[in-house]
């Protein structure tokens, strides 16, 4: 046996903590464990524990090759079909930083929705996926209740007939949450990613209604909707905050306004506004805000490490984004009104891919600089869309903030694990 190359030793409150990025496990580094790592041990129970958590591995294992193989295995897995539907590219809010071109009255039709249902049935018959991971995106997807209700009522029947599971996600601004949506989706485990940009005053100055008839307070409408959803045990929440320095400095009121959210079903996700250039001072403020959310028992996934061996959904073969007009893409981080699609959904329910472009994306390798990084097994990965567009993929920057060390990232993740465990025991 030998120590894993993905072990890290970090300092926490005067203790040495041993952390492994394959298993995402950690232990206090005692003298006994330290001796086992350096020269082995006759303590069978300790050896088994460390082996099961990947702190030690067999001598013949090439861990880097193993990790690359696991990433490749996930890329071509057929167990999950991840389908993202842009039910509309229209939106009822106007946010200055949005990268999309909103198209008025750009609503997916029932005819296209019917083709999508056909597509899901064909996909199941050909791949026998176990889970349909279905997301609604936009624009603002909830503006198209007619199509969403048609698709979900059809999927209820398909999932019962073919015995596959369904998980839903709504990436929504949260202003259109209503009882009719709750009645439609309450039988499905559903995650809502809802954006709230700081406190009430800042949010309302940034995320404004396009139509003044709806008033000037989208913030209160979102909070009201979240209160409704929070009553249901199979609804989960990602509260996304798009931040600049001003948002971070005035965010504490938001924490008190969402204090009602069930901590076991909620996570906070802080994202720098892409037009904003952060500096070292801002990074320090960001860490302080993460700690403030943690103090109130909210888990924050901003520097999240995970063990899914799945860097980006768009890298996976068994995944598609279907636009409101039937055009098909791999990635949602794009301007759908201006960029060429990767395929089209035909009348039979098949996606006609641009196979040359799809093969190019699926052939993307992990950059050499990433292969050498000891965070690789649990890293969210660099943006595959940027990898796809760049001739030299080594020009792509690490997803983690350069002003925050690996040790601090690991300590932040250990802290989130501790908070999640505490919330489960409450």
Tokens coding 45: 């129970």
pTM exceeds cut of 0.75: yes
- What pLDDT was estimated at residue 103? 85
Q: CA-CA distance, 420 to 221, in Å (whole number)?
A: 28
Q: Once rounded to an integer, what is the mean pLDDT over residues 48-53?
A: 94
Using an 8 Å Cβ cutoff, are 89 and 101 in contact?
Answer: yes
Nearest to 68 by CA among 309, 386, 316, 307: 309
pLDDT at 393 over 70: no
pLDDT at 380 over 70: yes
What's the pLDDT tens digit per position in 19-45?
999 999 999 999 999 999 988 878 899
Q: Once rounded to an integer, what is the mean pLDDT over residues 251-261?
A: 96
Residues 6+ apart with CB under 8 A from 323: 86, 89, 329, 336, 341
Please tell me the least confidently modeled range out of 221-225, 331-335, 415-419.
331-335
Please tell me the least confidently modeled range out of 163-177, 217-231, 301-315.
301-315
Q: Once rounded to an integer, what is the mean pLDDT over residues 235-240?
A: 98
Higher confidence at residue 166 or residue 340?
166
Q: CA-CA distance, 91 to 210, in Å (whole number)?
A: 8
Residues 6+ apart with CB under 8 A from 423: 263, 264, 297, 299
pLDDT at 83 over 90: yes
Nearest to 53 by CA among 293, 307, 296, 288: 307
Mean pLDDT (the chain) is 91
b/e string for 105-118 if b means 16 or more Cβ within 10 A?
A: ebbbeeebbbbbbb
């Amino acid at each position: 046996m030998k120590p894993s190359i993905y072990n890290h030793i970090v300092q926490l409150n005067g203790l040495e903590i041993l952390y492994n990025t394959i298993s995402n496990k950690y232990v206090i580094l005692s003298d006994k464990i330290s001796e086992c790592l350096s020269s082995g041990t006759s303590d069978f129970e300790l050896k088994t524990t460390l082996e099961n958590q990947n702190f030690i591995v067999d001598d013949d294992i090439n861990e880097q090759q193993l990790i690359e193989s696991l990433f490749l295995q996930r890329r071509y897995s057929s167990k999950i079909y991840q389908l993202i539907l842009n039910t509309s590219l229209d939106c009822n809010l106007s946010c200055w930083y949005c990268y999309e071109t909103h198209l008025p009255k750009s609503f997916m039709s029932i005819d296209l929705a019917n083709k999508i249902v056909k597509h899901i049935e064909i996909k199941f018959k050909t791949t026998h996926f176990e889970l349909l991971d279905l997301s609604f995106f936009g624009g603002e997807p909830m503006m198209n209740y007619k199509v969403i209700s048609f698709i979900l009522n059809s999927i209820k029947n398909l999932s019962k007939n073919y015995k596959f599971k369904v998980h839903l996600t709504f990436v929504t601004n949260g202003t259109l949450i209503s009882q009719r949506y709750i009645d439609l989706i309450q039988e499905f485990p559903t995650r809502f990613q809802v954006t709230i940009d700081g406190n009430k005053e800042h949010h309302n100055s940034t995320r404004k209604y396009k139509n003044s008839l709806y008033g000037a307070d989208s913030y209160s409408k979102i909070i009201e909707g979240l209160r409704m959803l929070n009553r249901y045990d199979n609804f989960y929440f990602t509260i996304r905050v798009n931040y600049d320095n001003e948002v971070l400095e005035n965010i504490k009121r938001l924490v008190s306004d969402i204090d009602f959210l069930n901590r076991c079903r909620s996570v906070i996700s802080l994202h720098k506004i892409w037009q904003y250039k952060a500096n070292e001072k801002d990074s320090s403020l960001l860490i302080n805000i993460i700690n403030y959310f943690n103090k109130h028992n909210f888990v924050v996934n901003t520097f999240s490490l995970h063990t899914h061996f799945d860097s980006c959904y768009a890298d996976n073969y068994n995944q598609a984004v279907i636009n409101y007009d039937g055009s098909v893409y791999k990635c949602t981080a794009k301007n759908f009104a201006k960029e060429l699609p990767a395929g089209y959904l035909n009348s039979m329910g098949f996606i006609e891919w641009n196979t040359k472009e799809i093969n190019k994306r699926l052939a993307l390798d992990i950059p050499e600089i990433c292969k050498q990084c000891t965070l690789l097994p649990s890293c969210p990965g660099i943006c595959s869309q940027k990898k796809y567009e760049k001739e030299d993929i080594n020009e792509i920057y690490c997803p983690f903030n350069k002003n925050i060390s690996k040790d601090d990232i690991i300590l932040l993740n250990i802290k989130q694990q501790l908070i999640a465990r505490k919330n489960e025991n409450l």
